[in-house]
Amino acid sequence: MNRILILLITIFPSVVFADELDTGDTAWILVSTALVLFMTLPGLALFYSGLVRAKNVLSVLMQCFAIACLVSILWLVFAYGLAFGDGGSLNQIVGLGNLMISDVGMDSMSGTIPEIVFFMFQMTFAIITPALIIGGFAERMKFSSVLLFTALWLTLVYAPVCHWVWGGGWLADKGFMDFAGGTVVHINAGVGAIVAALVLGNRRGFPDKPMAPHNMALTVAGASMLWVGWFGFNAGSALASGSGAGMAMAVTHISAAAGSLAWMTCEWVRSGKPTVLGIVTGMVAGLGTITPASGYVGPLGGLLIGISAGVVCYFATQYIKRGLKIDDSLDVFPVHGVGGALGCLLTAVFYSNSFGGLQSADEAYSISSQFGVQVIGVVATIAWCAVITFVILKLVDMMVGLRVEEEEETEGLDIVLHNERGYNI
């Protein structure tokens, strides 16, 4: 419990921690928890399901829903302890104990909120991260493999990196800045997705055969839900209902809007027409890139980070898909992986008072020194996630196989794996 308090004080200096319950803070984190879950169900589920072909729409919805259920149980049984428990001699790497949240009682506090609320809030982060990876292997991975991969990945990738950054691990000790999940969520998900795409191989016909989204209306609806839910993701990470949450919400919105317009402009200039897919993807890029910086930067930082996200993630997507011809089906790595890394690095710059950041006036701060710490955190997360994800995928392949058969992929996963159709027309 003391480790969590020290961590929260270090990462969220705007919060004044006390031993007494603050009902306002608690109410806001309860709302934020619901908002973050809303990002996955129904937000991400609808966003992703609209982007795939009609014959696979239910498979994506099923994967998102099942992952939410599976991760919730694993978070209760042991994963929360791995991420936020006291690891003893291993504490720099991972937490230990607290099985079935045995140390969390009715009176347990995490700053000014009950620890059970903190447990639930962090659970929603653990849910959406492996759900994002679905975009890397969409339309070709066995359902049983998705579940097994998720369980192992949550245990061996997500929980340790979460502990490094937010659970009192070695990156926290170095002063690494990641307010709401640039490394823990976005780099992890992006790297996990592109490794999965490489290991499974491209979908049949990619890149020669057109694989256009089957229902952009679903995608726009899901994207809109993601935008709203992201306020819980970033502003909720202040763990209080004060000015820190308000600033995080403001810069989140500004970055999303700027990312949308920047991506749309790049697409308009290069192809001659702005697309709906482009503007909503730019929004997600802006949201993912501002996430690690959202509690540290001001409106100017939010604007410039959003513009950078739209431009950089757009060209990263073009390079991955058309240059390298890697079938990261729903662009998880160039949007979340590249965006998360970019946001972590820009945090060091825009935290400074000279760029309108929230650096304390009496705080000695060096952009170059903090930038070096941010680089270490980004590189370490990429390396850990890439290697462990590759090992997990190979292990799952040996146990149950990863990919459906060619004829099953052609028929569609909805019928083959779930004996249902998304559209009976």
Nearest to 16 by CA among 117, 121, 111, 109: 111
Residue with tokens 């999940």: 181
Does 126 have pLDDT greater than 60? yes
| pLDDT score at 89 | 84
Does 51 have pLDDT greater than 90? yes
More confident call, 91 vs 291 = 291
- Compute CA distances 114 → 6, 104, 109, 168, whole Å: 16, 9, 4, 19
Least confident span in 45-54, 106-115, 154-163, 342-351: 106-115
Confidence band of 107 (pLDDT split at 50, 70, 90): confident
| pLDDT score at 6 | 46
Confidence band of 97 (pLDDT split at 50, 70, 90): confident
Average pLDDT over residues 270-299: 97
User: Average per-residue pLDDT in the chain?
Assistant: 94
| pLDDT score at 19 | 56
- Give the list of residues 6+ apart from residue 123 with CB closer than 8 angstroms, or none: 33, 71, 72, 75, 80
In sequence order, the β-bridge partners of residue 141 are 403
More confident call, 9 vs 67 = 67
Confidence band of 2 (pLDDT split at 50, 70, 90): very low
Share of the chain above pLDDT 90, in %: 88
Query: Each residue of 320-332: pLDDT tens digit?
Result: 999 999 999 999 9
Does 88 have pLDDT greater than 90? no
Confidence band of 401 (pLDDT split at 50, 70, 90): very high
Does 7 have pLDDT greater than 90? no
Query: Each residue of 9-22: pLDDT tens digit?
Result: 445 444 444 458 99
The runs of H, that is alpha helices, within 319-366 are 332, 338-350
CA distance 377 to 396: 28
Does 167 have pLDDT greater than 60? yes
Average pLDDT over residues 266-278: 96
| pLDDT score at 112 | 94
The runs of H, that is alpha helices, within 273-366 are 276-290, 299-318, 332, 338-350
Q: 63-92: b or e for each residue (b if 16 or more CB lie within 10 Å)?
A: bbeebbebbbebbeebbbbbbbbbbeeebe
Average pLDDT over residues 25-30: 98
- Give the list of residues 6+ apart from residue 263 with CB closer than 8 angstroms, or none: 278, 279, 281, 282, 283, 285, 310, 311, 313, 314
